[in-house]
Structure 1
Amino acid sequence: MAIVDIHGRPFEQATLREQQTSRLAQLHAEFADHPSSGLTPPRLARILRDAEQGDIRAQCELFQDMEEKDAHLLAEIGKRRRALTTVDWQVLPPRNPDKTEQAEADWLNEVLQDLPDIEDLLFDMLDGIGKGFSAIELDWQRVGREWLPQEFSYRESSWFQLDQATRTELRLRDGSADGEALNPLGWIVHTHAAKSGYIARGGLYRVLAWPYLFKNYAVRDLAEFLEIYGLPVRIGKYTPGSGPEEKATLLRAVVSIGHNAAGIIPDGMAIEFKEAAKGTHEPFDWMVQWAEKSMSKAILGGTLTTQADGKTSTNALGAVHNEVRHDLLKSDAKQVASTLRKYLLYPLLVLNKGGERDPRRLPRFQFDLVEAEDMATYAEALPSLVNAGMQIPVSWAHEKLRIPIPGKDDAVLGAGQPVAPGAAAARVVALKAQQQSDPLDDLAEQLAGDWQPVADMMAPVQRLLASCKTLDEFRDRLPEVIPELDASEVAELIARGMFAGVVAGRAGAV
């Protein structure tokens, strides 16, 4: 039976022995055009429009320039891309697996855990967040009887184009109109939906290209402002009758004294320094901050976890925005896991285990994104809930606290030997018997049983509380029961207790 890829395309084993791009030498010899140089709004609009029509080269090169030239953009996108590389992961079998499916999932776990550059693969795949896609070429090798990936080679996004018919299929640029189709089982093509739209419009950098452009204008204008308004105006005065050579000498002195803080002029000439023209840099700073905040919002979902928000950033608000980042992390993880399932787990299985594969029964690549709950809160709440009669599954508590359920041979932490309830009661009685009797303690125990009048007095309040639906209603109706409260018995009980206490105290003193 012929081997096919996840899309049903037939596969030839000879393609495993050589990477597809090794035959396209012109791609390796290309140099980027750097379209960000001299970028203007009309030119940016043209680049984005050409990408929508299938020519994505200029757009991809522009996105690469944006990362290289904007430190804030690089830092923010780096946070999002690196967040997933620190998360634990595992390969899980499909739901209700049989023995074969469980064994295949265990084998895939061993293979991927032994790969040294799996974190680099995840980082390169997440390049698709900004550009809309990321293409990694697989370099297969034969190890014993198994086909395993030797290397994951990231390929520049500018090497690709879209097919003319649908503009949804990535192809290598080989000089033809439609490009060369990617070899089955030879690529990990991660299409990241940072926003809805087909490949050319799905990247986050299409949103960030405009703030990037306006920020560049603001920075350039700020530099000109500092050059014009940051230095005092220098005026050279020459004496009447000075010739062209003397005037040229004075001009050179005026220019050089601004840069070198030194210069010479002929005797009789003078240089005056006027106060620099009044101006402010605040409009340019505002534009730069607006652009950087816009980038942070688009990439991380907020601004309070970055420096862009300035002195308004607080730990409390930053923690709230970190929750938004966790939602983005979960979305990124889900998309990356789906790509790895189709373009890495599936090829490993069909090349090494053979057989026809049902895509619905493939193993799953899963990131561990469940956050451990506050252990102190649960340690205090769970015993009380259990004592109140609530039935709580042990597996649920283990999942919430991120504590694995021990296996048969696993050593577990434990408390001291528990004491039976009867033994505990006997121990309390014995300890009490050993203690010397205290008259005041005996009196307190005796009086503690005589407080029934208090309960009788509060009975009308309890009945009113039971009949009210809200606390506001109870508060408003409380004056109704005040005439029913008879405190005479309670007052007499308190008086008897105080008298007995005084007598017992005097008797103990004697």
Structure 2
Amino acid sequence: MQPLDDTLLERGDGKGLKIYDEIERDTWAGSVLDKRKKQLTAREWRVEPANDPSARDIEAAAVVRQVFESLPFDRICEDLLDATLKGFAISEVVWARDGAGIWPQQIVAHDQRRFVFDEEWRPRLLTMANMYLGEELPERKFIVHRFGVKGNNPYGLGLGSSLFWPVLFKREGIAFWMLFLDKFAGPTVVGETPFGSLPEVDRKTIDALAGARTSSAILVPTGTNTKFLEASKSGSITYRDFLEYWDKQISIRVNGETLSTDIGSSGSRAAAETHADQLGLLVDGDSDLLSATLRDTLIRWIVEYNVPGARLPSVWRERPADAKAEAETRKAEAEAAAATNSALRDVLQIAAKLTDDAVARKLIVASGLVGDLDDDVIDALVTIRGDLREAPPVDPVPGVPTGVPGVTRAPVSVGAAPRLPGVTR
């Protein structure tokens, strides 16, 4: 099967995936690609047995965990993440026997250009004897990690397909910028010779003017007029703006944002943190994709060789906790819970004035504050609503300050005032 990458087919010029190696040579593109990889490999990895594990499932998870600890696991993952740029990555497992077990002694990454895929998506090795179809490879030997698989395309579709153009335009822009700087550093020298001068004189004049850019003095024939042609430009668009534009396009394509890499002159720390969260989402996707590949290949082979019959454990990398975000979330949840409790108390105080339990229950349910509660809890609220009646106002006791502990104020009974003659109430 052949790759379906239009950029690779149209611009490869026989180099194949090597054109994507040139993308990594760009300082900006290489750094943002490394950043996306390092964001993943910097996370702590965990191996957990299958759900509701048996003793054999737990043993399988322990075996896989032991194998990963004995290998440079982060480097292995980083090699496989090369698929993010090129669409697929291949690593070879070198097995070794140790006692009764069969373990991966080392895992070696290979150049993708050495492999093709058959109709079953199995890799085949290109050799001098078979440069088109490739040689068949043994099972349980090569880990294939794919990125951007769409349809029947075992080669995947990496970010290189879209990064090729901004990197190319940027490279060409730098070439023009260097030419522009060269013109500013040494202006063009113009020599005017008399009409009809001999070709030998013209050649000597040109040689003398060519050395004028680096010499402090020159000698030209009599009658030659010499002047400098200065480079000039107008407008506000510069080569720097052109290159920075493509740097931003590269960052957006790789990391989904720009401010976590370059905050610029108008950015802010809050905006940068928001953009960094977008990168975290992309890394989460890379992590899930890589975990699935390892589970279907390396983990499966280790378990089948050493703990046959056990269910496959899972491996993943945990996203680091954001303490500030968690604290803000807990604070918001606490404030929301307090507001809900206060509103529910107000509803119960109103319901306490209703003597019919059924009517009070309808009022409590209609408030919308008990939607997550079951019927037993709602019935309990109907029962205790009478305990939440508002206490009647108590007149202050003359001579006793408010809030004195141990002082119980008795309700003051006020009788009807005597009717005074001539006073209309």
The two structures have a TM-score, normalised by structure 1, of 0.59
Q: For residues 184 and 301 of structure 1, what CA distance do their matches in structure 2 show?
A: 37
Report the secondary structure of 1:318's partner residue: helix
TM-superposition CA deviations, 1:445-493 (whole Å, max 9, x none)? 369999x99xxxxxxxxxxxxxxxxxxxxxxxxxxxxxxxxxxxxxxxx
Tell me the equivalent position of 1:48.
9
Q: Deviations over 1:207-246 (max 9, x none)?
A: 1122222223322333333334554231234568865444
Q: Is the Cα–Cα contact under 8 Å of residues 57 and 157 in structure 1 kept in the other structure?
A: no
| Cα distance change, pair 189–226 in 1 and its aligned pair in 2 (3 A) | same
Which segment drifts farther, 370-379 or 85-94?
370-379
Is 1:445 the equivalent of 2:403? yes
SS in 2 for 1:445: coil
Unaligned stretches of 5+ in structure 1?
A: 1-43, 391-440, 454-510
Give the SS at the match of 2:132.
Answer: coil
Query: In the alignment, which residue of structure 2 is the partner of 1:59?
Result: 16
Distance 1:227 1:292, change over 3 A: same
Q: Does 1:220 align with 2:178?
A: no
Which residue number corresponds to residue 418 of structure 2? none
* Matching of residues 377-416 of structure 1 within 5 Å: 377=328
Per-residue deviation, 1:82? 1.1
Q: CA deviation at 1:290?
A: 2.9
Q: 1:313-462 counterparts in 2 under 5 A?
A: 313-353=267-307, 355-356=308-309, 361-369=311-319, 371-374=321-324, 376-377=327-328, 443-445=401-403
**CA contact 1:89–1:368 (8 Å) conserved in 2:** yes
The whole-number CA distance in structure 2 between the counterparts of 1:279 and 1:235 is 22
Contact 1:222 1:281 in 2 (8 A): no
In the TM superposition, residue 320 of structure 1 has moved relative to its aligned partner by 0.7
CA contact (8 A) 2:149 2:156 kept: no
**TM-aligned CA deviation for residue 312 of structure 1:** 2.9
| Distance (Å, rounded) in 1 between the aligned partners of 2:53 and 2:192 | 93
Does structure 2 retain, via aligned residues, the 8 Å contact 1:172–1:179? yes
8 Å contact from structure 1 (residues 138, 187) kept in 2: yes
Instruction: Tell me the distance in 2 between the aligned counterparts of 1:369 and 1:194.
Output: 25
Q: Which residue of 1 aligns with 2:123?
A: 170
Q: 1:281 to 1:271 in 2, by over 3 A?
A: farther
Q: 1:303 aligns with which of 251, 255, 258?
A: 258
Q: Please tell me whether the aligned partners of residues 129 and 194 of structure 1 are also in contact (alpha carbons under 8 angstroms).
A: no
- Asked if 2 retains the 8 angstrom alpha-carbon contact of 1:249 and 1:265, the reply is no
Q: 1:128 aligns with which of 83, 88, 107?
A: 83
Aligned residues: CA RMSD: 3.7
Does 2:101 align with 1:146?
yes
Q: 1:250 to 1:386 in 2, by over 3 A?
A: closer
Equivalent residues of 1:330, 1:369 under 8 A apart: yes
- Give yes or no for contact 2:201–2:221 (8 Å, CA) kept in 1: no
Q: Is the 8 A contact 2:189 2:227 kept in 1?
A: yes
Q: Give the TM-score of the pair, scaled to structure 2.
A: 0.70
Structure 1 residue 204 displacement after superposition: 1.2
Q: CA deviation at 1:306?
A: 2.2
1: distance between equivalents of 2:11 and 2:199? 56
Q: Quote how far apart the aligned CAs of 1:370 are.
A: 5.6
Q: Distance in 1 between matches of 2:402 and 2:90?
A: 81
**Does 1 or 2 have the higher relative contact order (CA < 8 Å, sep 6+)?**
2
Q: How far off is 1:199 after superposition?
A: 3.7
Specify the SS of the correspondent of 1:87: coil
Residue 70 of structure 2 corresponds to residue 114 of structure 1: yes
Letter in 2 for 1:364: S
With 373-382 and 333-342 compared, the bigger mean Cα shift is at 373-382
**Range with bigger deviation, 58-67 or 170-179:** 170-179
d(CA) in 1 for partners of 2:246 and 2:408?
74
Deviations 1:482-510 (A, max 9, x none): xxxxxxxxxxxxxxxxxxxxxxxxxxxxx
Seen in structure 2, the aligned counterparts of structure 1 residues 376 and 283 have a Cα distance that, compared at 3 Å, is closer
What is the rounded CA distance, in whole Å, between the counterparts of 1:385 and 1:47 in structure 2? Answer: 54
Rate the CA distance shift 1:370–1:223 in 2: closer, same or farther, 3 A: closer
Distance 1:373 1:147, change over 3 A: same
Q: In the superposition, relative to structure 1, how do residues 189 and 45 fare at CA in structure 2: closer, same or farther (>3 Å)?
A: closer
* Secondary structure, counterpart of 1:311 in structure 2: coil
- Identity within the alignment, %: 23
Q: How far is the alpha carbon of 1:317 from its aligned partner?
A: 1.0
Q: Distance in 1 between matches of 2:101 and 2:14?
A: 37
CA distance in 2, matches of 1:302, 1:384: 32
| Preserved CA contact (<8 Å) 1:57 1:161 | no
Alpha-carbon separation, structure 2, partners of 1:130 and 1:103: 36
- What's the secondary structure of 1:282's corresponding residue? coil
Distance in 2, matches of 1:324 and 1:76, equals 14
The amino acid of 2:157's aligned partner reads G
Distance 1:370 1:153 in 2: 29
The separation in 2 between residues aligned to 1:50 and 1:244, in whole angstroms, is: 46
Cα pair 1:246 1:266 within 8 Å, conserved: no
SS of equivalent to 1:138: strand
Q: Secondary structure at the match of 2:63?
A: helix
Moved more, 170-179 or 271-280: 271-280
C-alpha distance in 1, partners of 2:333/2:267? 36
- 1:321 maps to amino acid: H
Q: 1:132 to 1:233 in 2, by over 3 A?
A: same
Q: Report deviation, 1:279.
A: 4.6
| Letter paired with 1:369 | R
Q: Does 1:91 align with 2:51?
A: no
Partner residue in 1 for 2:367: none
* Residue-pair matches, total: 345
Alignment-mate amino acid for residue 148 of structure 1:
W
Indicate the residue corresponding to 2:33 in structure 1. Answer: 77
Offset at residue 169 of structure 1 (A): 3.9
Q: Tell me which amino acid in the other structure corresponds to 1:350.
A: E
In terms of fraction of residues, the more helix-rich structure is 1
Q: Distance in 2 between matches of 1:349 and 1:285?
A: 55
Hey, what does 1:103 align to over in structure 2?
Answer: 59
Q: 2: distance between equivalents of 1:125 and 1:213? A: 25
Alpha-carbon displacement from aligned partner over 1:184-224 (angstroms, at most 9, x marks no partner): 11111111237777244521111112222222332233333
Separation (CA, whole Å) in 2 of partners of 1:144 and 1:277 = 77
